[in-house]
Amino acid sequence: MRPTVPIPRKRPSEISFGGRVLFLADDAELIRRQLHEGLDPELTPELKARLRDQISTDEITPAYICFFYDETLGEFPYLGLEAASGNGGAEAPIERGTVKAGGFVCSVAGKRRGKGSSREQSPYAELMAGIKVVVSESIERIYNENCQNLGILTTTDFGLIERIRSGEPIPLSEFTAGTDDITRQIIEYGGLFEFNMARLGGQVTLPPPLADVPDSSANGQRPPFPRPMTLGEKIFGRKWVVDAAADEIGAAWVRPGEAGFFCADIRFSHEYVTPMAAIFFEQKMGADARVLDPDSILFFRDHLTFLHKVMSQERIEQGLLAVANELEVKQREFSEKQGIRLYGEQQGHVMGSEAICHSKILEDYAEPGMLIIGTDSHTPHAGAIGALAFGVGTTAIFNSWITKDVRARIPPSFKVVVDGTLPANCTAKDLMLEILRHPYVRDGHAIGQIIEYAGPVVERLSVDERATMTNMAAEVGAFTGVVAADERTVEFLVGERGMDEVQARALVDGVHSDPGAQYIELIEIDASRLRPMVALPGDPGNGIYIDELAEPVEIEIAYAGSCTAGKKEDMDMYARVFREAWEGEGRGVHPGVKCYIQCGSTDVREYARERGYLDLFRAIGAEFIEPGCGACIAAGPGITRTAEQVSVSSQNRNFPGRSGPGQLYLVSPYSVAASAVAGRVVGWGVG
């Protein structure tokens, strides 16, 4: 039974700000002068050209800042933001408390603002620092939704900046123009929770699916399937909440651009997010409120189980380790109170997590055709078997505890068709680095779209390798990534899940795009031309072939793991390269390299143990780490400690500061193992 709460009021039709505007330029001195000298620059063409592009949420709120989950976050926005310094390098010019003290109401940046992690701490930190409006040339989907859900206004209209600064009344419609009807109402009510309460109180109007709207040109009737649909559209159609009160779910057909609420089969969160969501839930719903259908909710303690091994003494003395540990306590207490399954820390003397959240979702829970939401940008991992899985923020997940659904505007889909033959020393990770440097992706055209992977090469990939590709839809900036369910999916459900084959085939049936489905873009890749790739430090889109490196890149750290590369088949790849070096040449990890191998779940660890991989890793000089997110979020062994250190990794992203202050090169599982042996960045079987 859904709760009854007072219905909120809408915002006024005009809104005034009157305050300072912070320009996040690629100029550390200019930022510093705005913060410390009161400089209020005019937006000239020259300044607009110098605005920072590609600002990730890791830069808005570095991982250690996300230990906080209340108004304290207002002290911290942009602490990880790097900008060009006078000596030709880069530096982080923003210090704790300076944004909040500066009286800024608006923050301005360039392209692809808010990419990367789905952490809602980023816009919440901005909100608590006084930022009411975000202006950027383009804004990533999850970050933009998180802003809207919290009540921060967003726009790509630079013409509003001076009006904001002067305090001129601005029609709220300036911020709702071009949005769907639901998003417009969320903005008008000042946030997702406020809108949802009005919705549950029957005070808002939701647009029906177009399939339910009579067409006057067809005598008031619509045919049941007037258009072929992509896989993403099909699942959205099946999950559309047509009438929440009557539990009516499903639309005969849908098309991109339609907005609605969609019933989630699985809702999950981890300890970075659950505590903030729990506080929101208890503050707004009451201490005794209960979540709806707790059996379809999962919690994970996976991000911070190794934090104490890498946190600096300075930060420990600042109390940050104690603050981080409070996240685990709050999540555990809330899960016990609500009767929600928690995958926590391993018991006894073994460190680490039971599983990384989206790794476990794919291993044990996801099914073809499901709609899954999680508070991690890599939730699309489960798209490997034809599930529609996408990341959401804190406000969206806590609202889903009330309603069991999630709002979305159905995105267009674009298709990546991979033909040819994948070389033996290349993997799905190499394919992704190739896709990420494609202009359609690199220039931000794919933001918020569904990427569907297809073609003969994808059809031959295992589910584990497909998961690498759907997982990294996050780096594409896509809404999610999917692969049609097929015979490989049946093999996975039967072989890995122990499912009856008849049941597996029934689940797979129809979970694919229709012939003639419409895609906004088609990208074709000839895998036969691929060679082992590396993404240069700073961005996963900085891909080149490893043999194109201008000079040898000596490394000190090799990190093999994370959700993207900690699966069973990834362990097979590491073992294959290390065994070849060990048994064929008597070589192990290079003396100058520290190598770490980390898996995504205890199931993967036991798989590696049964095949003798753990003994092999130990023999060649690598350190095996129990499951957890770890180095990928600068919270475990494998991080760099200084800006001069160089590491190579098979994780998914290498944004500035993502895995320590050093230089991080992204490669495939094969290449990270080969590099660990060689002591420099190399591809396996190259040269």
pLDDT tens digit string along 151-170? 999 999 999 999 999 999 99
Quick check: 301 and 244 in contact, CB under 8 A?
no
Kind of pairing, strands 241-243 and 248-249?
antiparallel
Tokens (6 digits) for 362: 């794919």
Last residue of a domain, one of 123, 145, 168: 168
pLDDT at 2 over 80: no
CA distance 78 to 482: 33
Write down the pLDDT at residue 307. 81
H or E element in which residue 441 lies: helix 439-442
| Mean pLDDT for the stretch of residues 176-181 | 92
Q: Which residue has the tokens 């009330």?
A: 402
Give the least confident one: 279-288, 513-522, 532-541.
279-288
Write down the pLDDT at residue 1. 44
Amino acid at site 519 = Y
Write down the pLDDT at residue 64. 81
Q: Which residue has the tokens 């098309």?
A: 255
pLDDT at 350 over 80: no
CA distance 270 to 331: 8
Write down the pLDDT at residue 523. 98
Q: Which residue has the higher pLDDT, 584 or 223?
A: 584
CA distance 667 to 426: 10
**What is this structure's pTM?**
0.86
Q: Across-strand partners of 431?
A: none
- Tell me the C-alpha to C-alpha distance, in Å, between residue 270 and each of 303, 372, 392, 598: 7, 14, 12, 19
Quick check: 669 and 686 in contact, CB under 8 A?
no
Q: pLDDT tier at 222 (50, 70, 90 boundaries)?
A: low
Quick check: 437 and 543 in contact, CB under 8 A?
yes
Write down the pLDDT at residue 306. 81
Residues of the domain holding 586: 533-678
Write down the pLDDT at residue 218. 47
Q: pLDDT tier at 687 (50, 70, 90 boundaries)?
A: low
Mean model confidence pLDDT for the chain: 93
Collapsing DSSP to helix, strand or coil, 106 comes out as strand
H or E element in which residue 607 lies: helix 602-610
| Mean pLDDT for the stretch of residues 663-678 | 98
Write down the pLDDT at residue 210. 87
Amino acid at site 253 = W
Q: How many domains does the chain have?
A: 2
Q: Which residue has the tokens 């207490």?
A: 333
- Tell me the C-alpha to C-alpha distance, in Å, between residue 652 and each of 535, 561, 605, 669: 10, 10, 20, 11
Cα dihedral sign, 431-639-568-267: negative
Last residue of a domain, one of 118, 151, 168: 168
Decide if 244 is inside a domain: no
Up-side HSE of residue 457: CA atoms within 13 Å toward CB? 25
Write down the pLDDT at residue 320. 82
Decide if 346 is inside a domain: no
CA distance 165 to 397: 34
Q: pLDDT tier at 349 (50, 70, 90 boundaries)?
A: low
CA angle 338, 342, 343 (to 5 degrees): 175
Give the least confident one: 355-364, 380-389, 622-631.
622-631
CA distance 277 to 87: 43
Quick check: 432 and 539 in contact, CB under 8 A?
no
Share of the chain above pLDDT 90, in %: 78
DSSP string, 68-96: --SGGGGG-TTTT--EE-TTSSEE----T
Angle between helices 669-678 and 568-585 (to 10 degrees): 30
Decide if 669 is inside a domain: yes
Residue 572: give its domain's CATH number. 3.30.499.10
Tokens (6 digits) for 580: 């070849």
CA distance 103 to 58: 23
Decide if 665 is inside a domain: yes
CA distance 475 to 115: 8
CA distance 474 to 190: 27
Give the least confident one: 7-21, 201-215, 223-237, 257-271.
201-215
Tokens (6 digits) for 29: 């001195």
Collapsing DSSP to helix, strand or coil, 342 comes out as strand
Direct distance between the N- and C-terminal alpha carbons of the chain, in angstroms, rounded to an integer: 65
pLDDT at 355 over 60: yes
DSSP 8-state secondary structure symbol assigned to residue 683: -
H or E element in which residue 372 lies: strand 371-374
Which positions ≥6 away from 112 have C-beta within 8 Å?
53, 54, 55, 138, 139, 140, 444, 447, 477
Decide if 458 is inside a domain: no
pLDDT tens digit string along 460-484? 999 999 999 999 999 999 999 999 9
Radius of gyration of the chain (CA): 24
Q: Which residue has the tokens 């921060």?
A: 152
pLDDT at 225 over 70: no
Give the least confident one: 109-113, 114-118, 445-449, 638-642.
114-118
Decide if 349 is inside a domain: no
b/e sequence 282-302, b meaning 16+ C-beta within 10 Å: eebbeeeeebbeeebbbbbbb
Quick check: 417 and 18 in contact, CB under 8 A?
no
pLDDT at 40 over 70: yes
pLDDT tens digit string along 49-77? 999 999 999 899 988 888 887 889 999 99
| Mean pLDDT for the stretch of residues 510-530 | 97
Q: Label residue 376 left, alpha or beta by phi (over 0 means left) and psi (-120 to 50 means alpha).
A: beta
CA distance 555 to 677: 10
pLDDT at 629 over 90: no
Decide if 652 is inside a domain: yes
Tokens (6 digits) for 526: 């000839």
pLDDT at 22 over 80: yes
Residue 121: give its domain's CATH number. 3.20.19
Last residue of a domain, one of 168, 196, 220: 168
CA distance 261 to 256: 14
pLDDT tens digit string along 287-303? 999 999 999 999 999 98
Collapsing DSSP to helix, strand or coil, 414 comes out as strand
pLDDT at 618 over 90: yes
Share of the chain above pLDDT 70, in %: 97
Decide if 634 is inside a domain: yes
pLDDT at 204 over 80: yes
Q: Which residue has the higher pLDDT, 305 or 31?
A: 31
CA distance 595 to 587: 14
| Mean pLDDT for the stretch of residues 525-552 | 96
